[in-house]
A and B are shown apart, each in its own frame.
Chain A
Amino acid sequence: MTNLVTTGVLEAMTNIVVEVMPRPEGYVYPNEATVQPLWGILIVLYPYITGLVAGAFIMASLVRVFNVRALEPVYRLSLLTAFAFLLCAPLPLLFHLGHPERCYEVMMTPHLTSPMAIFGFVYAWYLMAVLLLELWFDYRHDFVNWADITPGFKGMLYRLFIVGVTDTSEPAVALDHRIGHILSIVGIPSAFLLHGYVGFIFGSVKANPWWGNVLMPIIFIMSAMVSGIALCVFNYLVLSWIRRRTVDMKCIDMMGKFLFYALVMDATIEGLDWIHRIYSAEEGFRIMQYMAREKLFYTLSLGQVAFGTLVPLILLGLLQLIRKRVPELQRRRMYFTSSLLILIGVLAMRWNVVIGGQLFSKSLRGLMGYKMEFTGLEGWFMGAVLLCLPFIVLTVFVKLFLSERLPTSGFVPHREPGEPALEAGEV
């Protein structure tokens, strides 16, 4: 009986999202007529999360490399965001493998002509050589201080993170800063590499006219920057709301400015891609056009273009023109709405690329269907869990490394450097 009820509930939940049962239209190769596309929601999430990492890192670099001082309050938050998301980035990739237990082979015996083989190295480089080191050099001084004043498990963690380097003399700290600066400079091309290469995985598939496109890596890099900055805006506003702290309007205005510029560039490149596709109208264009109109209407026309790009463009563009006339609360609301819409829009863009590329047959004579299930590895639930996971990790990081109760030498949101730490109970 319980089973029946559970099945019924699950079916009802599944049926909410079902448009049509997957049934190929026209002719598709027999191997393509499977119920689920080969790459499902997990592969949609993978470039999405990786893009957020790259974008958030670029956001942090604006402070460190380009000296945009207005953004200092979100420097550490951006770095931690990048780190939390990077830790979760390989999970969807790992889960989707037919044999996850053999994943180490990608690094042990990489086949160097494969774009996917480089993933392990790019990922390891970015995690170990860039992000982890930059965070460590940025936090080392604080860890030494915190280790002394924090009792219990947290204190033990800080002591662990010091890894024995307790020197807090002026030259040592200056060296930390210098290395951090260099790592940040190295990090920018690395972030581009990380995400440009994800774009190349799709762009290099010449068998698929929806993917095989020289602009793909650039589109991925641009959309990554847009989504990463949007995520930082979102995180900063949410953190301020949770901590009941006033938002630094100078900082959020500056983020909005960069978000607007990045969005303009992203929309331009993606527009160029479409103009080129429509004008050259190569083999397969008609079936792709039909697919984009029919099968991807909600995610492409509405999700990606209208709500993911045009509305935020108008909102952020307006704020560039008449910022001074908009009250602060309205501005914050507009930034929040824009960042949320962009985050959804870029997710829709990843969906359109990954799923869209598998909705038409390579015979160019038919379309496949896709019904996303609720349960299962490629279901809604798993997707939601994997999307929430980096936010949970980030929450832990914020508690550990952005605590308002600990004195800090770096930039913590809502506090000027040098400002005294809060007394316990004040938050």
Chain B
Amino acid sequence: MSNQFSRRSVLGKIGATLAGLIAAPAAKAAKTVVQKEFVTSGAPKGYDPTQHKWRMAIDANRCIGCGLCAEACKTENHVPAGPYFRTWIERYIITKPKAGSGEARGEVFVDCPDGGMHGFPEPPVPKEEIQHSFFVPKLCNLCEHSPCTQVCPVGATFDAPDGAVLIDPTYCIGCGFCIQACPYGCRFLSPITKTAEKCTLCYHRITRGLKPACVEVCPTQARIFGDLKHPVPDDPLQQFYQNNLVLALKPHLGTEPRVFYAGIDKEVR
């Protein structure tokens, strides 16, 4: 019993704790260095991801469903033709309730023909029967606790320090686990590269001081993009946060999406 707290054991424990404390940040730093050096992220040399915090926000009140963003994304990022999208637009149509039905709302129609790339057809119900109709642009939600990153067996997908969630295409084994784990349907397995793909916030553009392609072409500023660490005068992102009550998608899953939405309804999932 007298040996329980011997000098040797206490010193040993202190030493081990210190070694752990020293080793942990060193390991973290080493990981960042390795990521910076070896990851094919599309960023130019000298770009420091720790100096930025990129964010996108969506003001659904402004979206007119023109589909330019989805089309620009396909072109800019060479997204394969067919049912593969890094960003898309959903149209929600909520009809009025039938008279005397005792309901607050009628039916909900959701569609997204060809990712909304070429606009939308006439609504499936006459205009006078519609209670609400709105468009919702969708993209990677850049989750704080991204389930896709968590489940990747080789660590090919990772959270960049600047807020982007990226995939190393030279490392991805194409198992598809991340695609199953994403609650928002934002990922797909490219039929060309056979690796997982998703929205990167146009990493090759934003790291060179440009805006993502979808933000660039949006005619109504429904997509708002900015850097939380370097706000510009009259920063649209700061104004968006200031002026809107926001929602995130599927908050009950605990993924903490960093893409905030203004002007969406409870029907949006």
Contact = CB atoms under 8 A, between A and B. Distances in A.
A205 B150 CA distance: 10
B180 A207 contact: yes
Contacts of A97: 173-175
27 contacts: A29-B88, A30-B112, A31-B83, A31-B186, A31-B188, A33-B83, A34-B83, A38-B179, A38-B189, A96-B176, A98-B172, A99-B172, A102-B173, A103-B173, A105-B171, A105-B173, A106-B154, A111-B152, A113-B150, A114-B150, A114-B151, A116-B151, A205-B147, A206-B147, A207-B181, A208-B180, A362-B183
B115 interface: yes
Contacts, number: 125
Interface string B145-160: 0010011111100000
Contacts of B85: 30-31
A363 B92 CA distance: 13
Contacts of B187: 31
A208 B193 CA distance: 26
Interface in A200-231: 201, 204-208, 211
Interface string A31-42: 111100011000
Nearest to A283: B252
B189 A363 contact: no
Given A31-B85, A98-B173, A98-B174, A38 B185 contact: no
Contacts of A109: 154-155
Max chain A CB contacts within 10 Å: which of B153, B186, B253, B269?
A: B153
B269 A39 contact: no
A361 interface: yes
Interface string A221-257: 0000000000000000000000000000000000000
Contacts of A96: 175-176
A99 B151 contact: no
Rank and list the top 8 A-B pairs by shortest CB-CB distance, nearest first. A98-B174, A29-B185, A98-B194, A207-B183, A111-B155, A116-B153, A27-B110, A117-B153
Interface residues of B, number: 44
Interface residues of A, number: 42
B258 to A, nearest CB: 17
A38 B114 CA distance: 20
Max chain A CB contacts within 10 Å: which of B154, B177, B194, B253?
A: B154
A358 B185 CA distance: 12
Chain B contact residues, majority secondary structure = loop
Interface of B: 82-85, 88, 90, 110-112, 114-115, 138, 147, 150-155, 171-177, 179-189, 193-195, 252-254, 269
A30 B115 contact: yes
Max chain B CB contacts within 10 Å: which of A31, A207, A208, A365?
A: A31
A204 B154 contact: no
Contact of B171 (A34, A100, A102, A206): A102
Contacts of A29: 88, 112, 138, 184-185
Max chain A CB contacts within 10 Å: which of B85, B111, B175, B252?
A: B175
A364 interface: yes
A115 interface: yes
B253 to A, nearest CB: 6
